[in-house]
Chain A
Amino acid sequence: MGTNRSAITRPSTSSGRTGSARGISPAAIAARIRRDPAVASAVLSLWLLLALFVIYPLAMLLARVLVDQGTFTTAGLAAVVTDRHQMRAFWNSLLLGSLVGIVGTFLGFLFAFTAARGRLPRWLLTAIDTAVLLPLVSPPFTTAIAMIFSFGPRGLITYELLGIKGYTVYGLDSTLFSEAVTYFPIAYLTLRPILAAIDSNIEGMALSLGASRWRVFRTVTLPLTIPGLANAFLLLFAASLADFATPLILAGNSFPVLPTQAFLQITGLFDLRGGAALSFVLLVPALIVFLLQRYWVSRRYYVTVTGKGAGQTPFVSVSPGARNALLLACALITLVIVYFYALLLYASVVVALGANHAFTLQHYRVIFTDGLKAIRDTLIIAGIAMPLGGLYGILLGYLVAKKSFVGRRSMELVSMINYALPGTIVGIAYLIAFNDRPFVLTGTALIIVACYIFRYGPTGIRATVALLQQIDRSLEEASQGLGAGSGTTFRRITLPLVLPAFFAGLGVVFIRSMTAISATIFLVSISWTLITVKILENITELSLGPAAAFSVLVVAIVFVVIAIIGRLLKLFRAPGAVAMTSVFGG
């Protein structure tokens, strides 16, 4: 019976996804609202919030670009498209994104393959995981600052070690290198579960048919991973396209990219319409990548990735020589990352890196006096955004995964928009939307908090949906059959099982609230500012010591919070519950 049920749509049960297919009468909707008023009011409130904080700002951005004094016009867009300098920025952005996608996916695959097939001892896996996580949880400038410390005008490597004078660190090469190191962990986290989920018996089968290990890799392992590689490439492309911090510091004048151009247009030239038009141009490739990733690549997976990774005996699919080569390559890249962070730490405790290496705590004194407001503001905003973002994620995730209501799929899609779009676009859209009546929020903490909730809460939504999809319908029916009402069932069965997703959502919102800048740089004010913005100010004033100290502080805080959340996950995860492999997975 169970097998044919999937092919059957069920007209009158609560679990069906058939609502849209059947066509629903207003009377039926009214009946449904009466039956489940809690769901109805939750759906309504979420739609209101999504309308205000996702749809409205985006509409206002489009209006600002396409409407002038009440009439439709493409003049603003035309100005960008015909401007050779701006179009160069557009093509540069695409070029940088593609290169970061290729290099990052390669690095990510290298690490994922080594981790999944290298038969590494547990401690080494943990070490790799930690090192690889570092760039993901750091403020956006960290690798960029380390690059300048190493290869800048008085860089440790170029100037002190090699004695090269006049080497310019600024340009495509450095930006590419810095972004690849920063974002390849995304590819690693995407590819590792896929490689781990490939049934090792398939590889064993190919080997038993006489194929060499290299041939097995080429004809079996790699083809099965291709959808994952495409996915990783698109995610990296999107990350690079959205990155505004790294190019701002490293790209220099010779290599303009769109997000930085939009930022400079607004903060430098006070040209909001021009900035909006630039971000609109950025919107097009960003949307294409998002739709490709969502509707094309993700449907082409050969292997199903569930939360359960363990339990497979690793197959001897890598020769000892190849294993050593892989390990060496990973070790080298890990070393680069560790070196960057060690350098950052070192720079934060010496007077001036490259000039005066005397030990000092002056930089920390500076950030805890001059920078104290930024630290306090950031912690308050992150502290407010964290629980709200976590709740938002679990609530919306539960509704779209378990309840049927009109517009369920569109709600899920709309909730992903701010998450998928480059931060620059979201930031400019918020700036335009909430600067004037009826919703004046500029200068408040609320606008930053809202930005974080709707931009980073979707991680919690995805985690919740993924978890709920693994929880069989019969669990809730079993509870119901034993006499429990829907409230008791939710509280005692569903909620404990999705708690890991809640913590994952909390963690991501907090970490991003501590480290993000691309959207919120447009939203800070005299009343409310952020550490990341302070770091940027420090860099532009060339006070790199305090910038390094701030970065070290953020990384330390984030690691403490990750550790706490890890403990909570362990504490609340009952032995049988579904595992959340990573807070950042996918």
Chain B
Amino acid sequence: MSESSHAQRIGDVMLDMQNISLAFGGVKALTDISFNVREHEIRAIIGPNGAGKSSMLNVINGVYTPQQGAIQLRGQHFSRMNPRRAAEMGIARTFQNLALFKGMSVLDNIMTGRNLRMKCGLLAQALRWGPAEREEIAHREFVENIIDFLEIQAYRKVPVGRLPYGLQKRVDLGRALAMEPRLLLLDEPMAGMNIEEKQDMSRFILDVNDEFGTTIVLIEHDMGVVMDISDRVVVLDYGKKIGDGTPDEVRSNPDVIRAYLGVDGEAALAH
């Protein structure tokens, strides 16, 4: 029942990556890659180490500028993106190696995600001037809803550095959510987690997609998790796209099997 309603929600193409190529000096990170992301879907980018997954994500949110290719985001064309514009257009991301403020509390860390939406100036905020205070209260309420959503009420005032890794990942997700993103980029959200933490995180990702209708692009190593939660999967290997489709299609794609299992994998498959 919920499966079909989810499928119905998937809408038009919101992000279209066209023939993207990216090189660092002589190293080709990405070669002529095209794929698109539809509204409300969960799209995964997978591939072995060094396949160019993180580079792809960095192209989407404007950290890297591709030498060739174009990006079309909600009908608008860009030959280059920059991080500020990406944020303003509703793209938020989490980081593989957590870029949280370790000494700040969970609450404050997530509050930083609201920064872009705060209208009052520094001085007004410092003086707790009327409108600034009202604004802060409104933002705080939004952040509290995220805390409730991610079930981290018990750690609200705890400095992030003191939390276990799995929870820090959740805070990182919370901060990205605070930006009210339309497109959420998750860079290995489950790296280094144990099974239970992975299950929790999978549930939160599905819930975000379901409750807020957020489109999600995620990079992940763990094939099992990816296949379980994503609608469509792009497979990269050595900077090239070798597969694209539903999890089932990708799983049975011989190129993908070869990339993951090596050449012997093909032989093994033939038996």
A binds B: no
Binding site for A on B (CB under 8 A): none
Binding site for B on A (CB under 8 A): none
